[in-house]
Amino acid sequence: MYQLIAMYATVFFVFLLALAFAFVYGESKRSGEYSAIQEKGYKIRKFYFLGLIAIMAFATIMTLGRLPYDRNQAEAEGFSEPKVVKVTGIQYAWEMSEERFEVGDKVQFDVTASDVTHGFGLYNEKMELVAQTQAMPEYTNTVYYTFEEPGTYQILCLEYCSTGHHVMVKEIVVEPEGGSSDE
Amino acid sequence: MNDAIHPLAKKAVIWHLALTALVLILMMIFGVIMLMNQGEMISITPQWFYKIMTAHGTGMVGIAALGGTAILWYFLSKYVKLNPAILIVNLVLFLTGVTMVLIAIFVFDFSDGWTFLYPLPAQSAKMYGAAGAVFFLAGMLILGIGFLLLYMYLAARLTAVYGSLGKALGWDIIFRGKKGYGPPAAVVATAMVIITNSTALLAGATVLAASLVNIINPAITIDPLLAKHLTYAFGHIFANCTIYMAVIAVYEVLSEYTKRPWKANKVFLIAWNCSTLFTLMIYTHHLLMDFAVPKWMLIIGQVFSYANGLPVMVVTAYGALMIVYRSRMKWDFASSLFFLSMFGWVAGAIPAIIDATIVVNHVMHNTKWVPGHFHTYMGMGVVAMIIGFMYYFNKTEGNQQHRGIDTFTITLYFAFFTGLVGSFLYAGGISAPRRWAEHLPQWVLSDQVGAVSGIFIVLAAIIFTARFFAGLRSVGTKVPYNKNSAAG
Ligand SMILES: [Cu+2]
């Protein structure tokens, strides 16, 4: 979902920007007195500035309440007794304390690395990135995810970790709620 | 024809630009090779892919810094007397560093990326031998020392002429209510770059030296999270500063073309002071996925990354639009590129700001979205500024004229650069990871679009460069400067 919002927002704002530049280019062929242009330009700029601040403040308020790794927030979302899974990245594999999940599982991934920094990227069956954190030696980063759809999920390494980086993939299976399928 | 500039400095600027132009083409070709491999149009080994990736990343940022330095030096010389020896010392140290980095990559197979996240170089050193890592880290260190010396010299010169770096940033106008305008934009920008980039270089030197020590004596370790902070404080600020150096040309040249002054008024100075402060802080948005970092620091990473867009969007880019509006300016090679470069800078800032939002970052960090945004403001911003300056230099110091082919090349470059960054951003949107030697079938199409775009970008760059070198022939020869008489 955030990917789509990001793509549409980018196209929209870049389009507006291109319009502004095209407009000024078109107007560059006429002449005008600069001090008058400046006076008017500074007035417009005030509104432009306040507009940008408003957009940024709105985005900040809307998003900072949804930090993907906030313990308190995870608890509010029903992670009071999560399924804790220990994940360790090592050149070039993922070690996990548990590999089979069910739909509805609220999972707390405790992610670390035993050699160099890796990136824990959780992809769903459609190969959309749904959650990530860094896998860093000496530290444990915790990320929460609730499996809502069954299927084969994959963990891809998302931080460059040397020449086997792209083979560092692990499949995990999420089964439908309440029972295993034999597929 | 600018007589304020020392003849030796002019020569040094030419060397900088010539080197920049050639390395740019080579690095672009490296980029195309990577995309073609990901797009399954050619096949190279992963080892080679990552070697090329390391060279491309290191080389592009390094060469943007070199081009930016040439711009800074050229325009600053109009206001402050500078000793060209320092510029040449920097160039020599730069070349030494680059040579060592190339030896590391292509002789000793170093391929840990230009981010060289600790303890990766040490780990690779164990597997592939220490020489590669040591050459790379030491090369980067020497290169950094060159820039640090340059900034220390510039700091001393600005202090001598303006009283202090604070005054060069207009503090007496902002805080003491002094009336009038601040120092020229070139001076303000230089002061900003001195402060931010010296900090970056010291952070970089610390982590580079610590990594080297760790390779030589593994008993001495560093904290990986601290090392990551230092690495990004170095890399992010250093890459940012390439823009803040190159933008000096935009101020100078657009103001010259439109015959309108671009003076450092109070808002301008406040904007540059904000950029100074924010540029120092926002590297933390590289650590948004390190939840071990304190929460407040991550929130700062988001809020100040947003805020850092404001000075450029509201003051610099807006100022460029205002100065060009109804100016009857002559659109030639240089003015077109500088105008478009402001578009590229802001257009790149938009996906960057969106990515600095933690919830977005959570599903887009280290996807191709990230190279998507920085290729926008590096390729369509900084590089456009540097190429624009190459032509401006030849026109001012020689007699280069705008031709039809230049209009064609500019169109070619910007059209296909839009294709390139569009393919990157799209790939990021469908979760394609960055820095993967091989791609899954669903990502391959975007790579192919990127590769084809890249080929045309290289073509444009070759024409730019050929025109630049052809124009250089007239530089310094005592051709009558009056263009009417030259045209006969
Ligand atoms: Cu990895």
Q: Which B residues in the span 337-376 are in contact with A, Cβ-Cβ below 8 Å?
A: 339-340, 342-343, 346-347, 350-351, 353-355, 357-360, 362-367, 369
- Say how many Å lie between the CA of residue B102 and the centre of ligand 1: 24
pLDDT of residue B479: 47
Q: Which residues of B touch A142 (CB under 8 A)?
A: 291
User: Is the CB of B422 inside 8 Å of chain A's CB atoms?
Assistant: no
pLDDT of residue B469: 96
- What is the residue whose two structure tokens read 């406040």? B270
Q: Tell me how far apart the alpha carbons of residues A138 and A161 are, in angstroms, rounded to a whole number.
A: 16
ipTM of the complex, rounded to two decimals: 0.92
Using one digit for the tens of pLDDT, what is the confidence trace for B162-178?
999 999 999 999 998 88
Instruction: Determine whether the interchain pair B360/A2 forms a contact, defined as Cβ–Cβ distance below 8 Å.
Output: yes
Residues making up chain B, counted from first to last: 488
Nearest of B62, B58, B86, B61 to residue B73 by alpha carbon = B86
Q: Tell me how far apart the alpha carbons of residues B473 and B159 are, in angstroms, rounded to a whole number.
A: 37
Is residue B252 within 8 A of residue B185, CB to CB? The reply is yes
- Say how many Å lie between the CA of residue A117 and the centre of ligand 1: 7
Q: Shortest Cα distance from A45 to chain B (angstroms)? A: 7
Using one digit for the tens of pLDDT, what is the confidence trace for B285-316?
777 777 777 777 778 778 888 998 899 899 99
**Beta carbon pairs, A and B, within 8 Å:** 213
pLDDT of residue B482: 46
Q: Tell me how far apart the alpha carbons of residues B42 and B319 are, in angstroms, rounded to a whole number.
A: 45
CA atoms within 13 A on the CB side of A57: 6
Using one digit for the tens of pLDDT, what is the confidence trace for B121-136?
888 888 888 999 999 9
Can you say whether residue B40 is alpha, beta or left, with left for phi > 0 and alpha for psi between -120 and 50 degrees? left
User: What letter represents residue B488's amino acid?
Assistant: G
Is residue A143 within 8 A of residue A133, CB to CB? The reply is yes
Question: Which residues fall inside 5 Å of ion ligand 1, going by CB?
Answer: A 118, 157, 161, 168
Cα A175 to Cα A86, A107, A155, A172, B224: the distances in Å are: 20, 14, 16, 10, 37
Stretches where chain B sits below pLDDT 50 are 1, 478-488
Instruction: Determine whether the interchain pair A132/B363 forms a contact, defined as Cβ–Cβ distance below 8 Å.
Output: yes
Q: Which B residues in the span 452-481 are in contact with A, Cβ-Cβ below 8 Å?
A: none
Longest dimension (CA), chain B: 74
Q: Which A residues in the span 152-181 are in contact with B, Cβ-Cβ below 8 Å?
A: 156-166
Nearest of A68, A72, A78 to residue A122 by alpha carbon = A68
Cα B323 to Cα B250, B328, B336: the distances in Å are: 11, 10, 14
Residue of B nearest to A41 (CA): B322
- Say how many Å lie between the CA of residue B248 and the centre of ligand 1: 40
Other beta carbons within 10 Å of A123: 22
CB-based burial label for B237 (10 Å; 0-12, 13-18, 19+)? buried
User: Is the CB of A117 inside 8 Å of chain B's CB atoms?
Assistant: yes
Query: Can you tell me the mean pLDDT for A121-132?
Result: 95
pLDDT of residue A180: 55
Residue of A nearest to B323 (CA): A34
Using one digit for the tens of pLDDT, what is the confidence trace for A60-72?
888 877 777 666 6
Residue of B nearest to A137 (CA): B224
pLDDT of residue B484: 43
What is the reported pTM?
0.93
pLDDT of residue A60: 87
Is residue A143 within 8 A of residue A167, CB to CB? The reply is no
User: Is the CB of B296 inside 8 Å of chain A's CB atoms?
Assistant: no
